């Protein structure tokens, strides 16, 4: 049986992979493991539980709440809010545990469970493993110890979470957004109310799309994975910029006034320069992954900002930031972490800070994003190969070395085994897209030959 916890909690098709029984069992297991770890010592435990608007979130939330309360945990139900809002409220309210029900950018039939530790931080891998082991032991017959009487948890609807979170977002901005017109695509997801409200309170004139969730339309042709509607709306309304979130609003992509995409790398570059100017870019360093465009690296070198790379995944970015005290990091996909104000990627905060930079400088988003030139990037997935031998194949090593010689300093090659599928990802960047495509296709052939 495979591991339940992936890189971002437990995720799968709701009511098939992720059942009410699983949600309840994992919640009870989490309560017992955290109690054994001493998290609840000396006080009555409290958990914050939130969800995105997926229809399945309704029954899964009920299961999680029932599991926690049956294990003696008091529950604050905050309703439909972004993942970073649940993380923030877990910390702000002094809760012992946060639980978010969402499958982020995945299609509507999927859902997921993500746990946060005290302070709103991601649960340690070791605790996730213990929760999984405990769940499996009890699901195979070992009985739970259950409180009775006044020992059972109480469940409260906490409506103040929305205002608390929005006030936090607006309160940390360096300046207001008066004079800007901004289109927000909420992906019919968890930020459908939060993001427009935050931008409006910060002074922007707001136009909304993708902000009418019905439980079934989350991420459906909208949001950060489908930018066409946002591009069209920005141009139609003559807006200064547009921002798009994913289903749980932990990421943000943007478009400029002409409808051109501004990706996570460009957003990071803009924020890095602004934070350095404000004196908040600790150690003059920004953290990103190996998938960041080479143009980002070249721009940071040119601007004199240090650049640290991690493996792909916002969890690795966050680990590097926390380990070394860095303030800013993120991914090309739009997961941006501003550690002074959030414990995880926060799409609404990212969009607000990007807009604040536009307002403060009086420069267009296109001009600000022009600090880096995105080099053409070709990605080819090579399936049905032995991905375990990527690093040890002499034939591949020679092919990569030859490609790197051909591309020189303005190109880059990355061969990466997929973490979930039997395939190898071949990524090539070059100043010329045709050169990038030619080299990528040649390397893909070499992968098939060497590993097929």
- Ordered by start, the domain boundaries in the chain are 10-159, 164-369, 377-451
Q: What b/e string do you get for 20-57 counting C-beta neighbours within 10 Å, with b at 16 or more?
A: bebbbbbbbbbbbbbbeeebbeeeebbbbbbbbbbbbb
Which CA distances in Å does 44 have to 29, 39, 90, 150?
A: 17, 10, 15, 11
Average pLDDT over residues 204-233: 97
Residue 2's pLDDT is what?
65
Helices 83-92 and 347-361, packing angle to 10 deg: 90
Residue 248 in marked binding region: yes
Question: Which residues, 6+ apart, have CB-to-CB distance to 282 below 8 Å?
Answer: 325, 326, 327
Average pLDDT over residues 255-263: 97
CATH architecture of 10-159: 3-Layer(aba) Sandwich (3.40)
Q: What is the pLDDT of residues 92-122, one digit of tens each?
A: 999 999 999 999 999 999 999 999 999 999 9
Residue 6's pLDDT is what?
80
Average pLDDT over residues 80-100: 98
Residue 71's pLDDT is what?
97
Q: Which of 56, 104, 292, 393 is catalytic?
A: 104
Q: What is the pLDDT of residues 374-391, one digit of tens each?
A: 999 899 999 988 888 888
Residue 49's pLDDT is what?
98
Q: What is the pLDDT of residues 162-194, one digit of tens each?
A: 999 999 999 999 999 999 999 999 999 999 999
Residue 423 has pLDDT above 90, yes or no: no
The partner residues of 113 in beta bridges, in order of sequence, read 10, 101
Name the pTM for this structure: 0.91
Average pLDDT over residues 199-206: 98
Higher confidence at residue 1 or residue 401? Answer: 401
Rounded percentage of the chain residues whose pLDDT exceeds 70: 99
- Identify whether the C-beta of residue 120 lies closer than 8 Å to the C-beta of residue 161: no
CATH architecture of 164-369: 3-Layer(aba) Sandwich (3.40)
Token pair of 414, please? Answer: 């990355």
For 377-451, give the CATH class: alpha beta
End-to-end CA distance of the chain: 27
- Active-site residue, 104 included: yes
- Identify whether the C-beta of residue 195 lies closer than 8 Å to the C-beta of residue 233: no
Residue 264's pLDDT is what?
96
Q: What is the pLDDT of residues 41-69, one digit of tens each?
A: 889 999 999 999 999 999 999 999 999 99
Q: What is the pLDDT of residues 264-302, one digit of tens each?
A: 999 999 999 999 999 999 999 999 998 899 899 999 999
Average pLDDT over residues 357-372: 97
Residue 420's pLDDT is what?
62
- Identify whether the C-beta of residue 357 lies closer than 8 Å to the C-beta of residue 176: no
Residue 419's pLDDT is what?
66
- Identify whether the C-beta of residue 404 lies closer than 8 Å to the C-beta of residue 439: no
Residue 250 in marked binding region: yes
Q: Do domains 10-159 and 164-369 have the same CATH topology?
A: yes
Residue 1 has pLDDT above 70, yes or no: no
Residue 124's pLDDT is what?
87
Residue 217 has pLDDT above 90, yes or no: yes
Average pLDDT over residues 127-134: 94
Question: Which residues, 6+ apart, have CB-to-CB distance to 31 below 8 Å?
Answer: 45, 47, 67, 68, 71, 72, 73, 97
Residue 246 in marked binding region: yes
Sign, CA torsion 415/417/422/428: negative
């Amino acid at each position: 049986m495979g591991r339940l916890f992936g890189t971002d909690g437990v995720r799968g098709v709701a009511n098939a992979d992720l059942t009410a029984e699983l949600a309840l069992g994992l919640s009870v297991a989490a309560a017992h493991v955290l109690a054994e770890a001493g998290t609840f010592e000396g006080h009555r435990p409290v958990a914050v539980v939130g969800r995105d608007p997926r229809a399945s979130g309704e029954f899964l939330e009920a299961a999680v709440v029932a599991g926690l309360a049956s294990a003696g945990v008091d529950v604050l139900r905050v309703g439909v809010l972004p993942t970073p809002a649940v993380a923030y409220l877990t910390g702000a309210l002094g809760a012992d545990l946060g639980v978010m029900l969402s499958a982020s950018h995945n299609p509507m039939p999927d859902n997921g469970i993500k746990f946060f530790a005290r302070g709103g931080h991601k649960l340690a891998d070791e605790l996730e493993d213990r929760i999984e082991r405990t769940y499996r032991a009890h699901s195979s017959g070992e009985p739970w110890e259950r409180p009775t009487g006044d020992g059972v948890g109480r469940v409260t609807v906490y409506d103040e979470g929305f205002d608390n979170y929005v006030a936090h977002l607006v309160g940390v901005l360096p300046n207001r957004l008066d004079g800007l017109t901004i289109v927000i695509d909420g992906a019919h997801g968890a930020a459908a109310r939060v993001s427009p409200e935050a931008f409006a309170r910060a002074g922007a004139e707001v136009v909304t799309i993708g902000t009418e969730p019905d439980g079934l339309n989350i991420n459906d042709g909208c949001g950060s994975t489908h930018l066409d509607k946002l591009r069209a709306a920005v141009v139609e309304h003559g807006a200064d910029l547009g921002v798009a979130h994913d289903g749980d609003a932990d990421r943000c992509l943007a478009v400029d006034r002409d409808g051109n995409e501004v990706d996570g790398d460009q957003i990071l570059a803009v924020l890095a320069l602004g934070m350095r100017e404000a004196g908040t870019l600790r150690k003059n360093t920004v953290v990103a992954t190996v998938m960041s465009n080479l143009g980002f690296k070249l721009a940071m070198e040119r601007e004199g900002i240090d650049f640290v790379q991690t493996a792909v995944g916002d969890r690795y970015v966050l680990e590097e930031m926390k380990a070394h005290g860095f303030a800013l990091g993120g991914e090309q996909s739009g997961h941006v972490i501003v550690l002074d104000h959030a414990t995880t990627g926060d799409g609404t905060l990212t969009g607000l800070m990007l807009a604040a930079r536009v307002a403060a400088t009086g420069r267009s988003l296109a001009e600000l994003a022009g600090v880096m030139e995105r080099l053409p990037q070709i990605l080819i997935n090579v399936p049905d190969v032995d991905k375990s031998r990527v690093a040890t194949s002499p034939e591949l090593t020679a092919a990569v070395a030859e490609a790197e010689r051909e591309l020189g300093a303005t190109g880059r090659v990355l061969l990466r085994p997929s973490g979930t599928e039997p395939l190898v990802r071949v990524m090539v960047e070059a100043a010329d897209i045709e050169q990038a495509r030619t080299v990528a296709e040649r390397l893909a052939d070499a992968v098939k030959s060497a590993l097929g």
